[in-house]
Amino acid sequence: MKSIALWYQPTLNAKDFINEVELHFNLWKLPNGNSHIRFLDIGIKLKNTTNIEELKLYFPTIIKKEDFEDIVEKFISKPDLVSAIFNENYKVVSDGTSKLFQIKDSKDEFVFNIYKTGKDDIKWEEKYSGTILSISIPQQDNEIYFRFRIKGNFIDSISSKSIPTNAIFDSAFTEIEMIDFRVNEIRDLDTSLLEEMHRDNKFQIAKQHFFFICSNNEEVIASHQPYISCRNLENYRWNDYVGLEDIENQIFLAYHWKKEKIDYSNILIKTKYEKNNWKTIITYMLGALFIGLCLELLGNWLYDLIKCK
């Protein structure tokens, strides 16, 4: 099983009501020395929660508690970052006593709420060879937004790497990666899990935004559909949000895909990463020098052998 699943447990007498959801997925792959930092940010916007008891998230791997977190506090106190995340000129209003934050536009009109969950709001259950997270949410008539971050085993499970075999030089400096990310893909979900989802209730995915954020040394060379935009990320805004130092000294690109009115989705991305760092270059040069030295010694040995005859 590769797909994640998203559904909800309805309140009493709300079984036949189907809610719409807007999903935001930001998959980050950031160079960090000779490796990468990888994580997935998940944004969930609900139009109405009056008939929702719990929000349900299934991941097809065992999720450690330290690998899943609510990240609202990473951006909610920074208006410029809130505006960057939603690509709108927003401001945040809060009385400091609630986990709800009001988002207003430039005309000071209410747009939606952002809710910061606490540890007591999330229940963990290892099931169907993976993990189900049951998230208690407030019931209200207004649009409400949640944002979480996941890292660890699940992120590793959605990607695979390969090395080009067409040339020694390419294999030393290039890495190919394939990302396969699926949401509510029935063919990849356990039948017992599907029965549990059916006993509760499903979402209609009104919109799904998927962003892949990577170094400018990485190139998207194939995908399930053409990306609709690619932009340079304003790195100076994101240091604390990402959790890496000196991120403003690097160049990152954000590729964007969008789908509307769907029941499930498959995201497939193939990238090529250029490993142009000094360690790789020096290793390659030393290897080439060693091979050259061996060939020279072999040549001298053959020459002496022929000369002796």
For residues 115 and 100, is the Cβ–Cβ distance under 8 A?
A: yes
* pLDDT at res. 272: 92
Which stretches does DSSP call E strand in 224-279?
Answer: 229-232, 252-262, 265-274
Residue at 114: amino acid letter? I
Residue 213 has pLDDT above 90, yes or no: yes
Share of the chain above pLDDT 90, in %: 64
* pLDDT at res. 31: 86
More confident of the two residues 80 and 256:
256
224-279 per-position pLDDT tens digit? 999 999 999 877 788 889 887 766 678 899 999 999 999 999 999 999 987 765 55
Phi-psi region of 131 (alpha: psi -120 to 50; beta: other; left: phi over 0): beta
Q: Is 57 exposed, middle or buried (0-12, 13-18, 19+ CB in 10 A)?
A: buried
* pLDDT at res. 237: 81
> pLDDT band for position 172 (50/70/90)?
low
Sorted by where each begins, the domain ranges of the chain are 5-275, 277-309
More confident of the two residues 189 and 11:
189
* pLDDT at res. 234: 79
Residue 8 has pLDDT above 60, yes or no: yes
For the segment(s) 5-275, the CATH number from 2.60.40, 3.30.70, 2.70.98, 1.20.120 is 2.60.40
- Average pLDDT of the segment spanning 136-154: 95
* pLDDT at res. 136: 96
Cα–chain-centroid distance for residue 53? 26
